[in-house]
């Protein structure tokens, strides 16, 4: 099983992660600069995946490995925004 990251604002392509923990860490890295100060960044580290998704307008879906391969193919085998920079 894999985890599909879904951007409800449509700014990022959907991305595949191995598990919810990996997705949560990626969203934390992405949104850490959005936090106003160190205290807010520390608070963000304690949020659950659902809390991070709610706050920053993300969603996720548990998918099969077969579905994950299809998403990777459709998105130029990109796993995240940094990979997209290579293709553009």
Domain coordinates in residue numbering, the chain: 2-87
How far apart are the C-alpha atoms of 22 and 1, rounded to whole Å? Answer: 13
How far apart are the C-alpha atoms of 10 and 46, rounded to whole Å? Answer: 26
How far apart are the C-alpha atoms of 66 and 57, rounded to whole Å? Answer: 26
Mean pLDDT of 66-87: 60
What is the band of 84 on the pLDDT scale with cuts at 50, 70, 90?
Answer: very low
Per-residue pLDDT for 86 more than 50? Answer: no
How far apart are the C-alpha atoms of 18 and 79, rounded to whole Å? Answer: 11
R_g of the chain computed on alpha carbons: 13
Predicted confidence (pLDDT) per residue in 28-76, tens digit: 999 999 888 999 989 998 999 999 999 999 999 999 998 888 876 666 5
How far apart are the C-alpha atoms of 46 and 67, rounded to whole Å? Answer: 30
pTM exceeds 0.85 for this model: no
Mean pLDDT of 12-30: 93
């Amino acid at each position: 099983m894999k985890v599909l990251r879904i951007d409800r604002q449509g700014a990022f392509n959907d991305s595949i992660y191995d598990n919810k923990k990996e997705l949560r860490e990626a969203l934390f890295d992405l949104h850490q600069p959005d936090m106003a100060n160190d205290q807010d960044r520390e608070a963000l580290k304690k949020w659950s995946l659902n809390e991070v998704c709610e706050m920053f307008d993300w969603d996720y879906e548990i998918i099969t490995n077969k579905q994950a391969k299809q998403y990777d193919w459709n998105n130029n085998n990109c796993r995240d925004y940094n990979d997209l920079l290579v293709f553009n």
